[in-house]
Each structure stands twice: as structure tokens, then as C-alpha cells.
Structure 1
């Protein structure tokens, strides 16, 4: 039993026998693809490039307390977060509603499930967000209207920034409340320590004067020397000097500033004054931090760094009309060859069956 074999070189005689059909199919494909290519609308692409930042470095509370600085993207979680936000449905619905894309895409009225889904699908097919090899985010949007494409791309970047900022808003409010609690606590402690300090000064006669202890010791020594001299001379001043010495050394001597009170209260007043100074410093810092954080939470710090805004394209990105025509012609030619080859094979097998 013999069988007919076919090879690539053997296709030419087959094509030659069916050249009219093949040529007709190729010409028809050429004409149709040319018409279709000319009818296809021009698609324009606008691209925005930006770097995401770490939300912790754009948090005003953290900037205030830690002196943080802006850190550009590069962390995998920051890049993934931004891409996820950009491709999320809430962002898409916001843009579709803002630019009335239901009408632009001719999907139907707003509120109809099929129309809404068709608009979302069309929007998603025109959007492309990728992480490039330089750790930046490229957001590209395609549309038949080049100005609209640029506006939508820039609006998407703004929406991503807005949503990204919201991630830290609740945390910032909680931190602000902690700052307020800390400030109130320090104010109460400061006032209580101040009252204790005033009461201690009145009780012990220690007012924190410069060289207070040195002057007290000097007065005691000088008074005691005068007393000894007066006693030795039998002077009438001795009684007065004894009272003066007692006033300098004893609490019941009548002097507000005396050695007994000073000795008894020195350690307590030193500790109390040190705490007072510490609380005063911490309270000033807490008030400043709270006021700065309260001001910061009312403002907005961008969570992305835009390298390039989207601009209307100067030339179309697609379709490549010559490629459409060439692809259609080559595909038609290949399918024609396959068809006539199968037809020749079928005829050959059929004639062999009849010969038997």
C-alpha cells in the first residue's frame, strides 16, 4: 500500500493549482482589513510616573516626634499597596462617575448593573499600572480622546494619593489624643509639684537663693564669734547675740531662714525642685508636640512623589494599521494553504479508495 506524501516544497504545485482561490482570498482579506483598519479609532495613551512613599515618613505625628524625613519608594509593600489602590473598584467607580464615562463608553445609564459592569470592564481594560525597573510606578491610561486620557491619568494619581493618606488618618487621630492625655497629665503633675514646692519653701525657709547655705553658715560663724567675744568681755550684748544665734540655728528662734529648717528640708526641696524642673521641661515639650501635631493632622502631606504628570499624547499608540493589514493577509494566506492542502489530501484519499 502506497500513500501520497506532502512536504513544504510540495505545497507550491498545490498552491499553483488553487491560485485563483488563494489569490481571491488574500485580496479579499487585504481589502477588508484595510477598510477595518481605516475605521478603527485612534487610541492615545497618557502616562504618569511617580514614587510611593512610606506612610510612616509622611505622618505629621511621626515627623514631629522623631524628626523623620521623606523616604521615596523602593519597599515592596509600598509598591504593592499603591498598585492595589489604583486597581481597586472604589477608585475606578469614583473616576467613572467624575468623568461621566458611562456616556463616553456608551454602556448605558448609571445605576444599571450591566451598564455599570460594562463601564468598569472598559475602564479596567484601558488602565495599566506597573512597577518599572527603577522602583517607580507607571500609570498609563488609554482613550480615543487624548486630553481625557491625560486628565483621567492625573486624577487617578490624585485618588491614589488621597486613599493612601487615609490609611494613617485614624492612627494620627489616636496619637493626637495620646498627646492630649499626656499634656493634661503633665499639667496636673506640674501644678501639684509647684504647690508642694511653695509649701516646702514656706515650711523650711529654703527659697533657692544663690549661695544660700554659704551665707547662712557665714552668719552663724560670725554671730557665734561675736557671742564668745561678748561673753569673755562680760558685755551686755551677749544676751542679744544668743537670741540672734538661736534664731539662726533653731526653728523656734523666729527666723524664717535657719540652720535646723534648712538641714531638715534641703534633701526634700532638692528632690522636689529637680522634679519641678523636669516636669516643666516635659510640659513645654508636650504642649509644643500637641500643638504641632494638631496643626499637622488638619493638613495634608502627599504620600507620593510625582516625577512626571500625564500629558496629552502627541501621537497615537494604536492601532498600527499596516500591522493589522499584514497580519490579516498573512493569516488568510496561511489558512487558505491549510484549507487547499486538506482538500487535496481528501481528494487523494478518495481517489485511492475508488481505485481499490
Structure 2
């Protein structure tokens, strides 16, 4: 025997015969869903929006470049690796555990004391289900946290942003310290070299009696010319020839007794010139090295942020969920559908059984 066929049109009489039962089931579902929906707590959503930067642009060696457009400037454009790095940091377990500990979420989620594997896993799972960090279509990061306490949700979201920023900075902190140490060593080396060269220059000036090139040269030339003229005049008669000869010898010979004399001046001018140029060069490099070291030290101590915060998280002014009306309507529709299916199967069973008894 062929089985009877049913259509949607045929459901009308079936529903009509069972309408009181179906209506009762739907009403009961509505009542239960209303009670459940009213008992569900309000959940609030807080979202922070930020744009990550390339942390390498905060390195002292880059900040000290001669290009003024590069110096001290963080790149706003988000690269794919920057976005992935920030999301990976945000989803890491150490960050989650830090937030859980900071806000005592064991107590907030009423999970008990930490230390037990089941309790730890429950709190971590609950935290993960309420937390999300995604890359939106505008190349920014949206960090969202859900909680029954709207103030706690905003506080957790903002703290997460600061933690991510801090960890992101730590990625290049060691490199920054290495660069700073190189600047310190360079400054110390130049400072030592400058002091040594300055002492060598002072020793050369004392040794050769050279304290000024132009004025001293003019002074000696003038004195030598005047002394020679006086000597020639004295040799003609009427002058102290011996005294003038000693004076001329003192001006021209190193063993003449004068501190400033032509022979020492000629012998030492090259050495003093070389030491003077060396000291001047070291002085300029020392000043530049000192400036570079101070700037690099300030850069590290300044803790330049590795993100641009577009929008901080604020306490929500309205709930995010639950949608109580949708819960009630959905439960009523589901109950109605299941009731219709149940009575249809029941009618089909009765029809088949009646035909089987007639055939017997």
C-alpha cells in the first residue's frame, strides 16, 4: 500500500484539531522565555579603536638622522605586519592573565580561588568569550570587551590597549638600549681623546713657546727687524753692539734664553697647528656626540607610544545584549514549529495504524 501524501494545505486541519494544545505549548513557551529573558543580566560593550605604528621608527638611531622630516616622526600608515603583531599580542595568554589578575576576574566571575586548573580554565575561557580584537576595514584595530558592569568593561578595554602598547614597545627596547650604550661609549671615547689632545697641545705650546700664530709671528718679525736695525746702527759706532747681539740671538735662537724665539716657533708651528686642528675637530665631534647621547637617552626615557589611540573605550549608555523581544519571539516560533511537527507525525502515525488495522 502506498503511504498517504501530505501538503502544507493539509496542515491546516491538523493544526485546527490540535489548536488548543499547540496554543498552550506556545503560551507556555512565551511565559517561560519571558521569565528567562527577564532574569538574564544586561551585558554592555565597550570598544577602543587605535592604529598601530612601526616601532622601529622610535629607535634613537632613526630619530637622530639628519633628515628633519624623519627625525622624531612615527609612521602613521599601518603595515600588515604591524596589525598582525598587535592582534597577536592582544590575543596572547600572558596579556589575558595580566588583565585577569589586575581586575580580580576570579572574584568577578565567581569562579573561586586561582590555582586550580578547572577554575583557571573557566576564567580564561570566560574572559576570551567576552574579549575580541579585530582588524576593521579602515586599517584600524577595534578592541572590544563585554561585561555586565559597563564601567569594568571600559576599564578592561583601555587597560588592554595600554598593555599592548607597552609590550609592543618592549620589542625594540633592547635595541634602543644597545644604541644608547653605543652613543655613551662614543661620547666617552671622544671625551678622553679630547682631553688627551688638549694636554698635548698645551705641552707643545709650552715646549715651543707658541701661544698665538698670527700675533706672535708679527711680534717676533717686528722685534727682529727693529733689533737688527739697531745692531747695524750700533756697529757704525756709538751703540751697545754686544747687548744688541745678545738680544738678537735671544729672538732667533732656541738657546738664546727667550721663551718666544724664531727657531722654536719654526720648529713647533707644524706640531701646534696639527694639535690645534685635532682639538678643534674633537671638540666639534664631542659636542655632537653629547647631543646625540642626550637625545637618545631622552627618547628611551620618554616612552614614545607605539600606537595612535583614535577612540578610548567609554562606559556604554545602553546594553549590547540580551535581545529579550527576540528571545521571546524566537522561542514562541520554535515551539510552534516543533508542535506542528509533533502533531503532524502523531497524525501520520495514527493514520498508518488505522489503515494497518483495516488491512488486517
Q: Report the TM-score when normalising by structure 1.
A: 0.82
SS of the equivalent of 1:211 reads: helix
1:69 to 73, 76, 80: 73
Q: Report the TM-score when normalising by structure 2.
A: 0.81
> Would you say the 8 A contact 2:205–2:211 is kept in 1?
yes
Q: Structure 2 vs 1, CA of residues 245 and 34 (structure 1 numbering), >3 Å: closer, same or farther? A: same
SS of the equivalent of 2:45 reads: strand
Residue 329 (str. 1) matches residue 332 (str. 2):
yes
Q: Distance in 2 between matches of 1:158 and 1:284?
A: 37
Residue 149 (str. 1) matches residue 169 (str. 2):
no
Give per-residue Cα distances to partners, 1:241-270, cap 9 Å, x unaligned: 444333333323333323332233222221
Partner residue, 1:254: 257
1:318 to 317, 321, 335: 321
Partner residue, 1:113: 117
> Would you say the 8 A contact 2:15–2:340 is kept in 1?
no
> Would you say the 8 A contact 1:15–1:22 is kept in 2?
no
Q: Distance in 1 between matches of 2:209 and 2:355?
A: 132
Q: Distance in 1 between matches of 2:143 and 2:78?
A: 16
Residue 244 (str. 1) matches residue 247 (str. 2):
yes
Partner residue, 2:128: 124
Residue 211 (str. 1) matches residue 211 (str. 2):
no
> Would you say the 8 A contact 2:14–2:347 is kept in 1?
no
Where does 1:48-59 land on structure 2 (aligned, <5 Å)? 48-59=48-59
> Would you say the 8 A contact 1:131–1:138 is kept in 2?
yes
> Would you say the 8 A contact 1:51–1:136 is kept in 2?
yes
Partner residue, 1:181: 185
Q: Structure 2 vs 1, CA of residues 143 and 237 (structure 1 numbering), >3 Å: closer, same or farther? A: same
Q: Distance in 2 between matches of 1:273 and 1:337?
A: 105
Give per-residue Cα distances to partners, 1:3-46, cap 9 Å, x unaligned: 8766xxx3122343244265555444433333332222211111
> Would you say the 8 A contact 2:45–2:316 is kept in 1?
yes
Q: Structure 2 vs 1, CA of residues 22 and 228 (structure 1 numbering), >3 Å: closer, same or farther? A: farther
Partner residue, 2:32: 32
Residue 302 (str. 1) matches residue 302 (str. 2):
no
Does 267-276 or 207-216 show the bigger shift?
Answer: 207-216
Where does 1:274-285 land on structure 2 (aligned, <5 Å)? 274-285=277-288
Where does 1:4-15 land on structure 2 (aligned, <5 Å)? 10-15=7-12
Q: Distance in 2 between matches of 1:274 and 1:352?
A: 121
Q: Distance in 2 between matches of 1:76 and 1:27?
A: 53
SS of the equivalent of 2:203 reads: helix
Q: Distance in 1 between matches of 2:41 and 2:300?
A: 47
> Would you say the 8 A contact 1:53–1:304 is kept in 2?
yes
* Superposition CA RMSD, Å: 3.5
Q: Distance in 2 between matches of 1:15 and 1:252?
A: 136
Q: Structure 2 vs 1, CA of residues 271 and 134 (structure 1 numbering), >3 Å: closer, same or farther? A: farther
Number of equivalenced pairs: 352
> Would you say the 8 A contact 2:60–2:180 is kept in 1?
no
Q: Deviation at 1:119?
A: 0.4
